[in-house]
C-alpha cells in the first residue's frame, strides 16, 4: 500500500469523521476542469468510470487525517493533471490503490480500462512498501538485500513505462503534504526516503514542479529547526523585500520592452531547500548567500535570450564568475537557461534567469513536457526528447545487469542520486561538453567518453598542459586524454581518486572481466574446498539441472559466471553448495528401515537412562509426530527452529537424546555434514484435528523504532490470546529495532494469522521465523 488506511478513526488521530473535509465530488470536478484545460479530447468517460470504481472500492476506508480515502487518489490524479499527462496516467492515478486494497483484480482493470492502465497500476502496485532509506554498515544483510531489490524493481518498472514513476512521485507528493498526521518517527523515515530517492529521481526527470515541493517538505520534517529558521529570517521585512523585487521586475520589464523584446518578467525568493543546500555546500550563513532572490525573464526565441542578457548586463553590474550558460551547455536533465548574478542599486545581489517559453515548460514539467499526443515546438519528436532524459536510467539498468553485489549497487546508487553534489562543465578537444560531479578528475572524464578510453589512459592534458591524474577539473577546462595500447589497464588506486559513479562502476567491471579466468579457477577451488571440508560429494551435486536452477536463481547466463562470482566474492560458496545439496536431497531421499530406526532409538534411550539425563518428552501419535509410520516415539522439538504443526519437518537421531524434530529449512539441517545425514529420518505431523498440544514458536520482528512499538506488538499478541514466553529487543544507532519473541501456539495457521496481524502495525518492516 502507498498510504495507511483505517476503517475507524482512533482517539490519537485527534480528528473525527464529522470534521469538514473537501467534498470528493468537488475535488473530482476540479480534476476534470484541470484535464480539460490542456487535453485535446473532450471525452472524460474513462476518468468518470475510474472515479466511480475507486469511490466504491474505497468507500469504507479513511486516512489518518479522518478524511475519506478517495481524497488521496483524487489528489494524486490532480497532481498528474497539473503535469498535463495523458488520460491513461490520470486514470491509473485514481486507481493506483484499488488492486492492492480491494477485491478488484488486474484482469478486471484490463477488461474495464485497457492494457495501458492495467500495466501502469500493476507497475505502481509492485513498488513494495519496503523502506528504501537507511542502508548502512550496521544494518542486517537481509534488510540491505530487501532495499536493493526494491530499488531494482523500481528502476525496472520505470524502464518499462516511465509514467509508473510519475504516478509514484505524485503519490509521494500528496503523502508528504499530509505528513503532519503521521507519528514523528514515521515523518522522519518517510521524509528521509523522499529526500534520498524520490527528490533525485524528480530532478533527473527534470520535473522541478514536483521536485521543489518535495525538497522543501522533506527539509521541513528532517531539519525543522533549520527550516523554520529560514522561514522566519526570509519573512523578516517581507514587505520591504517584495517591494525591492517588484522594483527590479518593473525596471527590467521597461528596459526589455524598450529594447523591442517581448518578454514575461516575474520575481521570487528561492525555495528553502535550494538555499539550505547552498549554505551547506558552501559553508555559508544565510547573509552570505548571494542569490536569495531570482528574477525570471521568459522570451520567444534563443536569440532573444542573449539579447535580453545584453540589456541586463548594461543595466546592472554582474558579479564575476557568476554567469552560467545552460542553453549552450544544458544540464543532464536537459534543463536550459542563462543564469547571471547581479548587484542591485542598493548593493543587494540577485539572480536573473533567462529562457524561452519552451525551455520554461521543459524546466517545469521535465519528461512530462512531451507526452504522446503533444508536439514539441522545436520539431523534435517526443520520443527523442524522452530518450535524452533517460540516459541516466539506462546507465542504472546497466549497473543492475553488471552487479550481483547488492551492497555495491546501493552505494553506487546513493552516490549517483546525491542531491548535495554539484557539477562541473568541461570540454573535449573537439568542443563537446561533458557534465561531471564536482571534484572529478581526468579519469572520470576519460570514462565519460568511453570505457576503452579510460582503460587505456596513461595521462592527461588540461588546457594544453600535462596534469596528474588526480587533478580536480574546473569549469571550462579543455581536457585531452593520452592513451596507449601498451597500458595494462586501470589501477585499483584509481577507485580512491575518481568521483563519478560511472567511472567507479567501469573500473570495477574491468577488474571483474579482466580477472574472470582467475576468478573462475578461484571459485572452483572454493567450492571444492568447502565440499571436501564437510564430506560432501561435489560431483554428485554438479548435475546440469541443479546448475541451471542456481543460474536462474542468481541471474547468470553460464556456470563460469557463477564460479567467477564466487571467486571475486559476490556469492558465497556455502550458499551455492547448500542450495544444490537441497535439490539433490529432494531427489534422493534417504530410505532407512524401521529396524534401523528402532535400534537407534533403543540405544539412545538406554544411553539416556545411564547418563541420568532429563526424561525426554514422550509424544504420542494422537497428539503430535509419526516417525516412519511408527507412533509412541520419544521425540524433542529443536529450539533452533521451533517447528509447529503445518511446518515441513524431518527427524534427526541424536546421540543419547532421542529424536530431535527440525523444520526442513533449518540452517542446522541444511548445513549438516554428509556423514551426519544418515541420521535424518522422515517425520510428519498427525492430522491437525488431533493437536491438543501447544507448541513454542519464535519470530524476529524488524521495525523502525518508535514510542509504543513494544506495547503495540504485545497488544496484538494478547488480543489473539497468545501466551508470550519471552521477548528480547535491541535497537541500532540508526533506529532499526529487532524484536525476538517466543510464544505458544497450536499450529502454523495460527502463527500465520499472528504474523499478518503484527505486519499491520505501524513501522514494522519485516518478520521472519528463526531457522537456526
Catalytic residues: 100-101
Tell me how far CA of residue 176 lies from CA of 15, 126, 166, 217, in angstroms.
19, 21, 15, 7
d(CA 263, CA 447): 42
d(CA 630, CA 650): 14
Torsion of CA 509, 515, 517, 518, to 10 degrees: -140
φ, ψ (nearest 5 deg) of residue 530: -65, -45
C-beta atoms surrounding 321 within 10 Å:
8
Tell me how far CA of residue 201 lies from CA of 86, 211, 333, in angstroms.
20, 9, 10
Residue 661 backbone class (left: φ over 0; alpha: ψ -120 to 50; beta: rest): beta
d(CA 408, CA 411): 5
At 15 the three-state DSSP class reads coil
Element (H, E) at 204: helix 199-204
Q: Find, among 130, 129, 122, the residue nearest to 160 by Cα.
A: 122
Query: Which residues fall within 8 angstroms of residue 727, CB to CB, at 6 or more apart?
Result: 710, 714, 739, 740, 741, 742
Cβ(527)–Cβ(573) below 8 Å: yes
Residue 642 backbone class (left: φ over 0; alpha: ψ -120 to 50; beta: rest): left
d(CA 442, CA 446): 6
d(CA 329, CA 331): 7
Tell me how far CA of residue 636 lies from CA of 643, 652, 654, 701, in angstroms.
10, 10, 10, 26
d(CA 197, CA 154): 11
At 576 the three-state DSSP class reads helix
Q: Find, among 580, 588, 565, the residue nearest to 678 by Cα.
A: 588
Polymer length of the chain: 772
DSSP state letters, 216-281: HHHHHHHSHHHHHHHHHHHHTTHHHHHHHHHHHHHHHHHHHHHTT--EEEEEEEPPHHHHHHHHHH
Strands (E), 485-632: 618-619, 625-627
Q: What is the 3-state secondary structure (H, E, C) of 633-677?
A: EEEEECCCCCCCCCCCEEEEECCCCCEEEEECCCHHHHCCCHHHH
C-alpha angle 147/152/156, rounded to 5°?
150
Cβ(652)–Cβ(662) below 8 Å: yes
φ, ψ (nearest 5 deg) of residue 439: 95, 0
d(CA 584, CA 574): 15
Tell me how far CA of residue 689 lies from CA of 90, 686, 694, 753, 754, in angstroms.
51, 8, 13, 18, 20
Q: Find, among 170, 179, 270, the residue nearest to 221 by Cα.
A: 179
C-beta atoms surrounding 308 within 10 Å:
24
Residue 680's beta-bridge partner residues?
A: 652
d(CA 630, CA 598): 9
Cβ(67)–Cβ(21) below 8 Å: yes
Amino acid at each position: 500500500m502507498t498510504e495507511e488506511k483505517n476503517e475507524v478513526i482512533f482517539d490519537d488521530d485527534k480528528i473525527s469523521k464529522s470534521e469538514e473535509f473537501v467534498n470528493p465530488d468537488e475535488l473530482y470536478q476540479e480534476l476534470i476542469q484541470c484535464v480539460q484545460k490542456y487535453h485535446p479530447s473532450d471525452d472524460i468517460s474513462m476518468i468518470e468510470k475510474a472515479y466511480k470504481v475507486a469511490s466504491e472500492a474505497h468507500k469504507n476506508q479513511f486516512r489518518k487525517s479522518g478524511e475519506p480515502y478517495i481524497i488521496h487518489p483524487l489528489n494524486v490524479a490532480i497532481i498528474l493533471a497539473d503535469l498535463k499527462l495523458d488520460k491513461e496516467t490520470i486514470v491509473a492515478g485514481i486507481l493506483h490503490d484499488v488492486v492492492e486494497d480491494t477485491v478488484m483484480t488486474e484482469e478486471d482493470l484490463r477488461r474495464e480500462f485497457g492494457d495501458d492502465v492495467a500495466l501502469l497500476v500493476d507497475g505502481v502496485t509492485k513498488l513494495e512498501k519496503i523502506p528504501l532509506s537507511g542502508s548502512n554498515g550496521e544494518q542486517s544483510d537481509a534488510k540491505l538485500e530487501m532495499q536493493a531489490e526494491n530499488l531494482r524493481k523500481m528502476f525496472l518498472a520505470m524502464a518499462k513505462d516511465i509514467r509508473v514513476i510519475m504516478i509514484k512521485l505524485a503519490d509521494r507528493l500528496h503523502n508528504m503534504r499530509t505528513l503532519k498526521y503521521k507519528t514523528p518517527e514515521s515523518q522522519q523515515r518517510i521524509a528521509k526516503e523522499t529526500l534520498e530517492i524520490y527528490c533525485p529521481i524528480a530532478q533527473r526527470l527534470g520535473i522541478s514542479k514536483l521536485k521543489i515541493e518535495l525538497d522543501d517538505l522533506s527539509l521541513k520534517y528532517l531539519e525543522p529547526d533549520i527550516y523554520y529558521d529560514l522561514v522566519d529570517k526570509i519573512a523578516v521585512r517581507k514587505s520591504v523585500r517584495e517591494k525591492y523585487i517588484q522594483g527590479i521586475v518593473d525596471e527590467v520589464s521597461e528596459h526589455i520592452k524598450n529594447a523591442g523584446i517581448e518578454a514575461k518578467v516575474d520575481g521570487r525568493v528561492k525555495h528553502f531547500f535550494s538555499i539550505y543546500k547552498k549554505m551547506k555546500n558552501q559553508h555559508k550563513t544565510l547573509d552570505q548567500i548571494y542569490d536569495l532572490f531570482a528574477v525570471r525573464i521568459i522570451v520567444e526565441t534563443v536569440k532573444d535570450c542573449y539579447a535580453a542578457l545584453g540589456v541586463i548586463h548594461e543595466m546592472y553590474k554582474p558579479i564575476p564568475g557568476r554567469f552560467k550558460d545552460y542553453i549552450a551547455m544544458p544540464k543532464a536533465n536537459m534543463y536550459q537557461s542563462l543564469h547571471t548574478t547581479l548587484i542591485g542599486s542598493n548593493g543587494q545581489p540577485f539572480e536573473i534567469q533567462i529562457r524561452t517559453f519552451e525551455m520554461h515548460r521543459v524546466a517545469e514539467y521535465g519528461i512530462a513536457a512531451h507526452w504522446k499526443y503533444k508536439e514539441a515546438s522545436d520539431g523534435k519528436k517526443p520520443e527523442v526528447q524522452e530518450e535524452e532524459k533517460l540516459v541516466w536510467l539506462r546507465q542504472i539498468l546497466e549497473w543492475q545487469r553488471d552487479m550481483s553485489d547488492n551492497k555495491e549497487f546501493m552505494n553506487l546508487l546513493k552516490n549517483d542520486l546525491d542531491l548535495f553534489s554539484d557539477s562541473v562543465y568541461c570540454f573535449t578537444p573537439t568542443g563537446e561538453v561533458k557534465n561531471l560531479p564536482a571534484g572529478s578528475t581526468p579519469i572520470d572524464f576519460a570514462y565519460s567518453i568511453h570505457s576503452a578510453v579510460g582503460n587505456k589512459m596513461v595521462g592527461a592534458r588540461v588546457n594544453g598542459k600535462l596534469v596528474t591524474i588526480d587533478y580536480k577539473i574546473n569549469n571550462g577546462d579543455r581536457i585531452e586524454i593520452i592513451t596507449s595500447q601498451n597500458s595494462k589497464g586501470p589501477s585499483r588506486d584509481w577507485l580512491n581518486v575518481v568521483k563519478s559513479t560511472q567511472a567507479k562502476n567501469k573500473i570495477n567491471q574491468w577488474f571483474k572481466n579482466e580477472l574472470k579466468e582467475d576468478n573462475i579457477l578461484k571459485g572452483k577451488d572454493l567450492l571444492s574446498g568447502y565440499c571436501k571440508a564437510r564430506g560432501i560429494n561435489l560431483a554428485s551435486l554438479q548435475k546440469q539441472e541443479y546448475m541451471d536452477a542456481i543460474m536462474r536463481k542468481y541471474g547468470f547466463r553460464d556456470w563460469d559466471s557463477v564460479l567467477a562470482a564466487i571467486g571475486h566474492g559476490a556469492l558465497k560458496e556455502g550458499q551455492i553448495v547448500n542450495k544444490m545439496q537441497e535439490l539433490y536431497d529432494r531427489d534422493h531421499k534417504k530410505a532407512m528401515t524401521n529396524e534401523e530406526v528402532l535400534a537407534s532409538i533403543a540405544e539412545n534411550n538406554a544411553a539416556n537412562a545411564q547418563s541420568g539425563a532429563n526424561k525426554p518428552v514422550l509424544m504420542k501419535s494422537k497428539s503430535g509426530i509419526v516417525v516412519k509410520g511408527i507412533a509412541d516415539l520419544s521425540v524433542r522439538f529443536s529450539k533452533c527452529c521451533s517447528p509447529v504443526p503445518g511446518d515441513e519437518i524431518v527427524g534427526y537421531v541424536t546421540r543419547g537424546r532421542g529424536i530431535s524434530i527440525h523444520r526442513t529449512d533449518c540452517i542446522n539441517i541444511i548445513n549438516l555434514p554428509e556423514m551426519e545425514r544418515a541420521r535424518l529420518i522422515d517425520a510428519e505431523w498427525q492430522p491437525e484435528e488431533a493437536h491438543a498440544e501447544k507448541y513454542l514458536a519464535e519470530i524476529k520482528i524488524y521495525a523502525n523504532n518508535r514510542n509504543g512499538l513494544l506495547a503495540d506488538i504485545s497488544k496484538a499478541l494478547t488480543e489473539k490470546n497468545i501466551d508470550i514466553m519471552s521477548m528480547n529487543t535491541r535497537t541500532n544507532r540508526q533506529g532499526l529495532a529487532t524484536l525476538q519473541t517466543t510464544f505458544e501456539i497450536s499450529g502454523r495457521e495460527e502463527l500465520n494469522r499472528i504474523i499478518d496481524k503484527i505486519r499491520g502495525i505501524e513501522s514494522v518492516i519485516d518478520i521472519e521465523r528463526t531457522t537456526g
